[in-house]
Chain A
Amino acid sequence: MHHTVARSSATEELEVIAPSKLSIDEVSKSFQSATGNVLALDRVSLQVAEAEFVCLVGASGCGKSTLLNIIAGLEKPDSGRVLADGKPVAGPGRERLVMFQEPALFPWLDVLGNVLFGLKLKANLTNKDRRDVAKYYLELVGLTRFEHANIHELSGGMKQRVALARALAPNPRVLLMDEPFAALDALTREQLYGDIQRIWKSRRKTIVFVTHNVREAACLGDRVLLFSPHPGRIREEFVVDLPRPRDINSVDLASYATRIMRSLKGLTHDSEEIGE
């Protein structure tokens, strides 16, 4: 006969949990601007499977970030709805964590303190559990040595790594990433493409990733969705059928990127805003 062994909460907390299925139903959203009413999203529908990596690509102002904010619960749609595992999204919550273009790290806390922030809002953990969990994620992003560093001492890439650890720590089912690497240099970005693919595989998250960088989208996404602006709509869908981990510089990937780029140029007049 087996004895039931009580596991510590930290171990439980670190378990890989089921990622969410997202269902976006006819979501519309408009904004008042100086030039009048702008339809940022026009009856956008989208299904994202469990543990799928979906990239939203489009020119600035095509509504892709707005859609991400609506999925996060930070903004409300004018009409339509977002379901996560069949339940309507009513507001922001740690099931769906967001990584922004700016790291948005809290300067009054050190690196560890930032990763602990979301964990402290989980009541069922002891402080030791929280530290164990936070340290696990700092190791996952390769920043163990910097746990007591101040935020301003970190490079841009390290800051985004901390932001990633902070977003992963409360064990969300969905990661929403809003151009998280746009402000980084190419070399740092390449390292992070490797990291994010490795972490996505080991932690099994559903990821919605917004970018205007076509190559980045082809490198990371299972699917790449093209947005067109005025009004914001999903125009085309590409399934990227390449083995992982993918190298951003590979030739196969380049041919995908070229195809996506060609479609995108056909959709938008602001082609100079599209990175390759």
Chain B
Amino acid sequence: MKRFLFSAAFFVTLLLIWEWAFRARLWSPVLLPAPEQVGNYLKSAAEDGTLWHATIITMRRLLIGYFVGMIGGLPLGLLTARWNLFRDTIGTMALGLQTLPSVCWVPLALLWFGQSEAAMLFVVVMGTLWSVVIATDTGVRNVPPIFRRAALTMGSKGLHMWLKVILPAALPFVVSGMKQGWAFAWRSLMAAEIFVTILTGFGLGQLLHYGRELSAMDQVIGIIVVIVVIGLLADKIFFSPIERFLHRRWGTSQA
């Protein structure tokens, strides 16, 4: 409760400073609208459905791309951890491509797929895939050999060994890879939506883009707030419970 109050007080103070900066006319109102104006924009965008529509479209792109990246990344990571042939090929490629900022995929995606959903999906998958591959690989390589030996004597082998021993033992690494993959997917999707103005659906990034085109600063700031809140919620609702479970089970300290 005390922590919640502190947290609330902090954000209220931020709002007050913003309000003060607006009233003091530190910048032109075109560049810095009042918190109220941003609130009004969000309210009207929510009422006429634009905001929900854009959020749903963006989340759909994100989740599909993220899911594909996970489904591809996990087995690839297991392969690179298991066989040096895969490590020297796919593993090296993953290591290289992971360092590439995912926004760099946008020009390529545009030329390959044109202004289409496929281009979006491609960029999100590229953002997710490689960090999941690398995290899974690292996780599997860090499984203490004694777990495997203990499981072997109890009659575990093959697929059972992978699913019931190696994968759960690698879970802390895999989850941090999933989290990183999520962050990369989210960033790359925003980049893609800002650059790729397609007609199949208007996402949050596109709202942001048109906010700039129209010099509608209330819209730009409003959408930024929405994007930040979605990122926070994803962390609190999806990743935090998993991490709490890991900390409790493994007995690692919660940083």
Q: Check: A107 CB closer than 8 A to any chain B CB.
A: yes
A94: which of B154, B160, B249, B251 is its contact (CB, 8 Å)?
Answer: B154
Q: Check: B156 CB closer than 8 A to any chain A CB.
A: yes
Please tell me if the beta carbons of A104 and B250 are within 8 angstroms of each other in the complex. no
Q: Check: B111 CB closer than 8 A to any chain A CB.
A: no
B153: which of A98, A106, A152 is its contact (CB, 8 Å)?
Answer: A98
Residues in chain A near residue B160, CB distance under 8 A: 121
Please tell me if the beta carbons of B251 and A152 are within 8 angstroms of each other in the complex. yes
Q: Check: B149 CB closer than 8 A to any chain A CB.
A: yes
Q: Check: B152 CB closer than 8 A to any chain A CB.
A: yes
Please tell me if the beta carbons of A74 and B149 are within 8 angstroms of each other in the complex. yes
- Of residues 123 through 167 on chain B, the ones whose CB sits less than 8 Å from some CB of chain A are 144, 146-147, 149-156, 160, 164-165
Please tell me if the beta carbons of B154 and A74 are within 8 angstroms of each other in the complex. no
Q: Could you say which of A72, A92, A108, A153 has the most chain B C-beta atoms within 10 Å of its C-beta? A: A108
Please tell me if the beta carbons of B249 and A92 are within 8 angstroms of each other in the complex. no
- Of residues 80 through 125 on chain A, the ones whose CB sits less than 8 Å from some CB of chain B are 92-94, 96-98, 100, 102, 104, 106-110, 117-118, 121
Please tell me if the beta carbons of A121 and B154 are within 8 angstroms of each other in the complex. yes
Residues in chain B near residue A104, CB distance under 8 A: 144, 146-147, 149-150
- Of residues 212 through 249 on chain B, the ones whose CB sits less than 8 Å from some CB of chain A are 248-249
Task: Give Cα A236 to B221, complex, Å.
Answer: 83
Residue of chain B at shortest CB distance from A154:
B251
Q: Which residues of A contact B (CB under 8 A)?
A: 72-74, 92-94, 96-98, 100, 102, 104, 106-110, 117-118, 121, 150-153, 166, 170
Given contacts A97-B153, A106-B150, 9 further A-B contacts (CB under 8 A): A74-B149, A74-B153, A92-B155, A107-B250, A108-B250, A117-B156, A118-B154, A118-B155, A151-B249
